Amino acid sequence: MYQIKRLSECTLDQALEAWNKGFEGYFFDATMDVDRFAARLGQENISASLSIIAFDGETPIGLLLSGSKKIGNNHIAWNGGTGVAATHRKKGIGKLLVEKACEIYRAKGIHTSTLEAISKNDQAIALYDSKGYKIVDHVVHLSLETSVEFNDSLEYYPVITSAHDAQFLPIYRHDTPWQSQWWCMKDGLTLQLMGPDGETAAYAMFKRQYSPDGTLKAIVVTHCFINDEQKDPEKVLEALFFHLFPPTVASYQCTLAFFQTSNKNVYDYLIDKGFSTKVDQVWMKKPIAAGVDIG
C-alpha cells in the first residue's frame, strides 16, 4: 500500500533517496549527495510542509518538492521536481503525487501552481495536462560558446545592487518562472541600466561564478528585461550586455538561465549574437483557487 508523507515528517536521507531514485534515467544526471540536496532545498525555497514523499511500506519511491510565495495578492506555488522510482513507474504514483500536492496547495490558500518540464518529456507533460496544468510559455537555457563583443554607446550607465532590490524596480516582472526570481538569487546581483533621462532602460539579475583560484569561470543571468518604451532597443541591449558580460583577459562562460522565449526582443537579439539553446522547457500553470486567470 502506497503512503504519502510530508517532507517535514521524513528524514533528510529518506528525501534524498526518493530524489535519486525518482530521477534515475532522467534527461541529465540529477543525482545528489546529502549536502548538495540540502543546499538545493534552501537555494530554491523549498517548503518542507508543502513537499511530499511517496512510500511503498518503509521505502521511499517518489517525491514532489514544492515552494510557495505571496506576490501582491497572488499566492503562488512552484513544483520543484516530481520523480518516481524506476521500479514503480506507470503505476499511478506520479498522478497520486500531483493530486495530493494540489490538495495541499488548496488547503494553504494557493491561487496558482506553476512548474517547468523538459520539452521532450512528453509523459510528464501529459500527466500535468491531465491534472489541469497548461503550457503558457517556453523556457530555455542559452549559452555562448565563443567570445563576442558588445558595444557600449556610453549613453547608459549601470547601477549595481543586490538581487533582492530588483523587485522594487518600476519595470520588474513578477510573473516569471520561479527559479528566475529574486528570492532564488542568493548572493546574486541586479544590474539596473539607467537611460539619458534617468529612466530605467533595462535590468537584469546575475551571478558571477569563480574557479577555486579566483578566476572568473562563468556569469549566469536569470532575469533580463528591457523597458518597452525604449525607442532604440538594440542600443539598450548592447549597453546592457556590455556590462553583464564585460571583456576580460581570460574567457568565461556566458549563460542565460530560465529565460522565457516570449521575451522576444531580448531572445532574438541573443540568438543573433550566437547564443544557443542548451535546455528547452515548457512553463506550465494551473489555477488552484476558483476564478484565477493563469494568463
Fold category of 147-273 in CATH: Aminopeptidase (3.40.630)
Asked if residue 185 has pLDDT above 90, the reply is yes
pLDDT given at position 128: 96
**CATH of 2-137 among 3.40.630.10, 1.20.910.10, 3.40.50.300, 3.40.630.30:** 3.40.630.30
pLDDT at 122: 94
Give the residue among 140, 112, 151, 142 at the shortest CA–CA distance from 255.
142
Where in the chain are the domains?
A: 2-137, 147-273
Task: Note the pLDDT of residue 293.
Answer: 65
Cβ–Cβ < 8 Å for 83, 32: no
pLDDT digits (tens, 9 = 90+) for 28-77: 888 999 999 999 999 999 999 999 999 999 999 999 999 999 988 899 99
Q: How confident is the model at residue 25 (pLDDT cuts 50, 70, 90)?
A: confident
**What would the mean pLDDT of 167-173 be, rounded to a whole number?**
95
Check pLDDT > 90 for residue 149: no
- The string of pLDDT tens digits covering residues 130-148 is 999 999 999 999 998 767 8
d(Cα 197, Cα 105) in Å, to the nearest integer? 45
The structure's pTM equals 0.92
The stretch 233-237 carries a mean pLDDT of: 94
Identify whether the C-beta of residue 284 lies closer than 8 Å to the C-beta of residue 133.
yes
Do 2-137 and 147-273 fold alike per CATH? yes
For Cα atoms 189, 193, 199, give the angle at the middle one, nearest 5 degrees: 130
At 254, list the grid cell: 556566458
Q: For all residues of the chain together, what is the average pLDDT?
A: 93
**C-alpha 169 chain-centroid distance:** 20
